[in-house]
Amino acid sequence: MDTWEREAAGVISFPSGRRIRGRALRRPLPAGPLPDFAVYLLGNRPAPTAWEQRWVRWPDFWLPANTNDAMDALREAWDRAESERVEIACLGGHGRTGTALACIAVMDGVPPEKAVSFVRDHYGPAVETPWQDWYVRHVAGRIK
């Protein structure tokens, strides 16, 4: 299987070389290859897709309802991104998606206090609330 092209829309490259696409579910699916696996961060169950997906209950502007489930899904995304096209998405593609990408950056070796900046520099707008920033620094930082 293949991973994302480095220049594809929404794709962030992590220090390990893994690439994950972040996106907004309220926008049309980008042109090009489909994901092999996705983690959808939503308050309600997402619609079925042609690819494998995991749903993490995560209300807009808040934190995941279950930290263990969220970290397990993000770890699976990080593991699979080594050889598959993985996407992380929420409705707007910034707050929850950016928070999740920052957590994955920590898993990939970025220090927790630099993970949000890393995602903003390599992906775009990310982490919309103080508690999402706290989550990256204190929760993801403990679960390497």
| In a domain? residue 3 | no
| In a domain? residue 5 | no
| In a domain? residue 133 | yes
The CATH number linked to 47 is: 3.90.190.10
| In a domain? residue 80 | yes
| In a domain? residue 69 | yes
Q: How confident is the model at residue 28 (pLDDT cuts 50, 70, 90)?
A: very high
Tokens 């308050």 locate to 43
Look at phi and psi of residue 60 and say left if phi exceeds 0, alpha if psi is from -120 to 50, else beta. Answer: beta
Buried b (16+ CB within 10 A) or exposed e, 96-135: bbbbbbbbbbbbbebebeebbebbeeebeebbbeeebbeb
Q: What is the pLDDT of residues 52-92, one digit of tens each?
A: 999 999 998 889 999 999 999 999 999 999 999 999 999 99
Query: Which residue range(s) make up the domain with 87?
Result: 11-142
pTM of the shown model: 0.95
| In a domain? residue 1 | no
| In a domain? residue 2 | no
pLDDT score, position 82: 96
Q: How far apart are CA 88 and CA 98, in angstroms?
A: 9
Q: What is the pLDDT of residues 86-142, one digit of tens each?
A: 999 999 999 999 999 999 999 999 999 999 999 999 999 989 999 999 999 888 767
* Residue 72: how many other CB atoms lie within 10 Å: 14
pLDDT score, position 1: 54
Number of domains in the chain: 1
| In a domain? residue 24 | yes
> Could you tell me the two tokens for 74?
């993000």
pLDDT score, position 2: 80
